[in-house]
Amino acid sequence: MNALPVQGWFDVADAMREAGADGSTRVVVLRAEGKGFNAGVDIKEVQRIEGFGGLLGANRGCFDAFKAIYECPVPVISAVNGFCLGGGVGLVGNSDVIIASDDAYFGVPEVDRGALGAATHLARLVPHHMLRAMYYSARTVTAQRLAELGSVDQVVPRAELDDAAFAFAARIAAKDTRVIRAAKEALNGIDPIDVNRSYRFEQGFTFELNLAGVADEHRDEFVATGSTLET
C-alpha cells in the first residue's frame, strides 16, 4: 500500500514548494503509481521508532505536506486511483481539483488507529453530518458519491485517469498564469476555515491520546492484524 514514511511527507512538501517557486509552473498534478493513491502514514514505521519520534515526525510531515499543497501558488490537481485514506484525504482535501478513477474510494480510519486528524480535509469533501458519520464509523465513500456531492470534478475509468487529469491541467495552463496565481491566492483568502490551524487543533488530540497510552494500543493492534477498511 502507498503509505508514506515520515520522510515521504516532507518530500511531498518540498516538491510542492519547489514547483510553486518556479515561475514557469502553471499547474501541478499530484498522482500515484500502484493499487491506490495513498494510505496515509506508515504506521509500521511509526511503531518501530522508539519514543514519540515516529509520531512527531509523521505529524509534522503531514502538516508540512498538507500546508504546502494548500499554499502552492498554482492550482493542484489530485488524480486519485484506488484507495485514498487518512493522510491521503489530507492531500486531496487541500488540493484545488479532484479527478478520480471509478474504483477510487476515500475514508479517514483514524479512530481505528487511536488518532485524530484529516477531518479538516474531509470536511472539504462531504457535508457536515456525513463527515461525522464517516469519522465515527471509519466508513468510506466512493468517488461516484463525491462527484454527486460536487467535490470530485470527474470520475473516469482507471485507464483514462492520467489523460483526464492532464487534460484539465492543460486547460488551466492555457490561461494567463498571473491571473490564475492571483485567483489561487484570492480563493484561499476567502476560505471560511483556516485549514492549517484547524488541522493543528486536531493533532493536539492525537498527542493527548498518545500520552494517555491509548493510541499505542490501537497502532500495535493494526500492525499485528494488518486491518483494512471496508467500503
Query: Of 17-31, 34-48, 180-194, which gets the smallest average pLDDT?
Result: 34-48
pLDDT digits (tens, 9 = 90+) for 58-102: 999 999 999 999 999 999 999 999 999 999 999 999 999 999 999
In 143-228, DSSP assigns E strands to 154-156
Residue 231 belongs to a domain = no
- Cα 151 to Cα 86, 191, 194, distances in angstroms: 17, 15, 19
Q: What is the pTM of this model?
A: 0.92
Q: Is residue 53 part of a domain?
A: yes
Grade residue 212 by pLDDT with cuts at 50, 70 and 90.
confident
Instruction: Count how many domains the chain has.
Output: 1
Residue 230 within a domain: no
**Domain of 15?**
6-225
pLDDT at 131: 98
- Give the pLDDT of residue 115: 85
Q: Is residue 34 part of a domain?
A: yes
Give the CATH number for residue 220.
3.90.226.10
pLDDT at 48: 83
Torsion (CA) 170, 161, 159, 148 in degrees, nearest 10: -130
The answer to whether position 104 is within a domain reads yes
Helix, coil or strand: residue 105: strand
**φ, ψ dihedrals at 172, nearest 5°:** -70, -45
Domain-embedded: residue 73: yes
What are the pLDDT digits (tens) for 10-26? 999 999 999 999 999 99
Residue 89 domain-assigned (yes or no): yes
Quick check: is 1 in a domain?
no
